[in-house]
Amino acid sequence: MAYDLTSRLVIGLASSALFDLEESDKIFREQGEQKYRKFQRKNEDIPLKKGVAFPFIKRLLTLNKLSPNDPLVEVILLSRNDPDTGLRVMKSIENYQLNITRSVFLQGSSPLKYIPAFDIELFLSANMDDVTKAINDNYPAGKVLKGNIEDDPNDNELRIAFDFDGVIIDDEPESIYQASKNLNDFHENEKTKKEILHNPGPLINFIHRLVQIQKIEHERIKMDPTYKAILKIALVTARNAPSHERAIRTLRELGIEINEAFFLGGIDKNKVLEIMKPHIFFDDQELHLEKCSKILPSVHIPFGITNKK
């Protein structure tokens, strides 16, 4: 019987998101493919350093403990390496005891066309071209930004933080603001449409899968009051009153449970995120990620009007 991915949260992961490939990429760029191949073979038993998305992926996979016989989460490696040079990546995954067993090696080709084949609800890569093309093809994707990330091994929670516009929903409200550069127009639109649900954004299916896992954790708590929920979802948005109401109503109707919400109205998001310490933060504007990406795993979603050139 075929292994069914449609009932699971599936992440497509480039090796550039999971590991620090700076050294090997430099060899490839400066010395060419053959030197790169020799370098990877020579060092294939030396684990690659952890990358920006590593803390997120490690904790996400722990959610499979909730259903060990029917895993909730599947992470698939989508690599531009060929199987030979990609062996070091797979051996590094094994070294870190990450339960990632499925992989695709494409020898320089883009993995995007295979996203629907694996029912992928989030594709993460450090390659901006791949991510932008994925978003333009209506696939859920984000660029993992470079940063100096420290992971607390004693932290057993998984905290995921989202911006709202251009991430959870589409960019219709943002388009109104960009057209006039007047916040009053933005707020008036949101007040007028407060009972009209927002259209879904690029990560909506990913969030729906997280909601399913939240419900499973709630059921576990009912059965075992000593169980502590792993997954925590936060909203960190530049919205503030009165535009908060339409956002809350949309989340409510979509069944998305937000553990923490910050309607900041232009206050620097970085100040909140430094305290929260999410294991990953998604935002559609690079400007909002400049500071926080240096200290916490940050992902740029190049969707909507603010990313059109």
Angle at 34 between CA 31 and CA 40, to 5 degrees: 95
Is 163 a catalytic site residue?
yes
Say if CB 80 and CB 111 are below 8 A apart: yes
How far apart CA 122 and CA 206 sit, in angstroms, is: 6
Which residues, at least 6 apart from 154, have a Cβ–Cβ distance to it below 8 Å? none
Which residue of the set 130, 163, 165, 284 is catalytic?
Answer: 163
How far apart CA 168 and CA 295 sit, in angstroms, is: 23
Q: Which amino acid is at 199?
A: N
Q: What are phi and psi of 47, to 5 degrees?
A: -60, 140
Q: Label the pairing between strands 298-300 and 141-144.
A: antiparallel
Q: Could you give the residue numbers annotated as active site?
A: 163
